[in-house]
Amino acid sequence: MGVLGCSTSAPPLVHFAPKTARIPLKTPESKEEYSESLRKLVQDNCPSLFTPFEPKWWLNNGHIQTTYSVFADISQVDSVWYRRQNLKLVDGGTLTEWRTARGLDFAPIDDAALSDDTPIVVILHGLTGGSYEPYIKSILTHAIKPVDKGGLGYRAVIPHSRGCGGVPITSTKFYSAGGTDDFRQALIYISNRYPRAKLLGLGFSLGSNIMTRYIAQEGEKCRLSSACVLANPWDLAANSDILSGTFIGRNVYNNALGTNLMNVAKQHYKALMADPSLPIAKALKPLMSVSQMTLTNFDKVFLSQVGGPPPQFPYATVNEYYDAMSSHECIGEIRIPYLAINSADDPVVQYVPMDGAGNGYAVMVLTSGGGHLGWFNDGTGKDRWTTKPVLEWLTLMGREVLAKSGSERGHKVVLGTDEFLRNEGGDEWLGCKECEGGGLINGNAGVEGLRKGL
């Protein structure tokens, strides 16, 4: 990105491996198995992916795109309501220690007409975000709209990170930049609730990083049958160094991201300090005394010390933490169709592994502009370049590709004597069950709408 972060109208760079994976397809008229290369499937079914990003002249800048996505009043655009289901998760080494709630927001709220094998888009939000985010709704509203009204007719669900989206922290545990256990437990619940449905992953920013790590870790047992990730930060150490190396990066973006995290920590201070003898409480006190809060400082003082389970934590340096939480080295382990979209003028994410590690399942895309989670074509907030190609990808993966459901792909889910759902033979400290709370959630009034509900 240049000094002004100016975009051009050049077509996106779209990278395929020299030999892409062959993807099985549905063949209703034939009993013979049929497959096609991922390259041809994308070229034939996702034409919007190859079109230039051409915004209005006053949005032709990565900084403006990023700023507009944060400050523009577009919360009422792409209106959606959710039905929240709270889950209780098992934390710690025994089943009686530290239990926490996690909110899953489902849409549409009236899905009685949808069959139990309707594809489900599973969405992970960005840093400190939630289901109210306009970047989520710009795709979700079209995905859940009935087919006869021009939509895909899918279900969607957004699992929230701890403390985000109006979900209270009820244990002495925070979330980390690359921890996958909470997402893994959410998928256990979703696949058990809808055992015949394919699960299509969709990640944004930090959620993309977490989703990519989960996919790589699970390999053939990944409950997602495909994934699309936008604005993945990939290499957290490299992008942190680049961000800190510019005046705007240090004084605007780094500060803003750190302040957002600090607000979450302050909001849940009481819960996190429930036991002053725990490492998280000991790390929280010096965090509150940091004079200039940046993302780097927050991660250095707090998350690198307590952002996940032992024995990995604490890390000696923040870069050790970043290296452990990054996803750029995970691409080679992905075994499902995987589409990654980044912007060349993203001021937050400058390192993008465009070679895709030579993985035949990965399609790597770099647009000339769009900023960080912007991609606005105009100032209405309704027209983003990313909407069409992502919907085309979801249509391909949900309707045309032959794939197993989330319950068939993953480990068998079993119900324990404590009424927690778990992977059969899995770790005892990973499990979930429904708990009180939830109900109808207003996704059009920012985080306050999620806190207040109906």
> So which residues are the catalytic ones?
205, 346, 372
Rounded to a whole number of angstroms, the distance between the first and last alpha carbons of the chain is 44
Residue 439's Cβ-count burial label (10 Å; 0-12, 13-18, 19+) is exposed
Cβ neighbors of 361 (< 8 A, separation 6 or more) are 20, 21, 38, 334, 335, 336, 337, 338
Place of tokens 């977490």: 210
Which amino acid, one-letter code, is at 406?
G
CA pseudo-torsion sign 442, 443, 447, 450: positive
| The two structure tokens encoding residue 124 | 């992970």
Structure tokens at 357: 């590690």
At residue 29, what is the residue type? E
Residue 446 has a CB neighbour count (10 Å cut-off) of 15
Give residue 266's identity as a one-letter amino acid code: K
Structure tokens at 147: 């087919």
C-alpha to C-alpha distance for 182 and 412, rounded to whole angstroms: 18
| Among candidate residues 133, 92, 111, the one with its CA nearest the CA of residue 420 | 92
> Is the omega angle on the peptide bond into residue 233 within 30 degrees of 0, that is, cis?
no
Q: How many residues does the chain have?
A: 454
Strands 34-37 and 81-90: unpaired
In three-state secondary structure terms, 248 is helix
Alpha carbon of 268 to those of 58, 90, 289: distances in Å?
39, 19, 16
Residue the block writes with tokens 């993807």: 23
207 near 307, Cβ under 8 Å? no
Query: Residues 230-255, buried b or exposed e (16+ Cβ, 10 A)?
Result: bbbbbbbbbbbbbbeebeebeebbbb
Q: Is 446 left (phi over 0), alpha (psi -120 to 50) or beta?
A: left
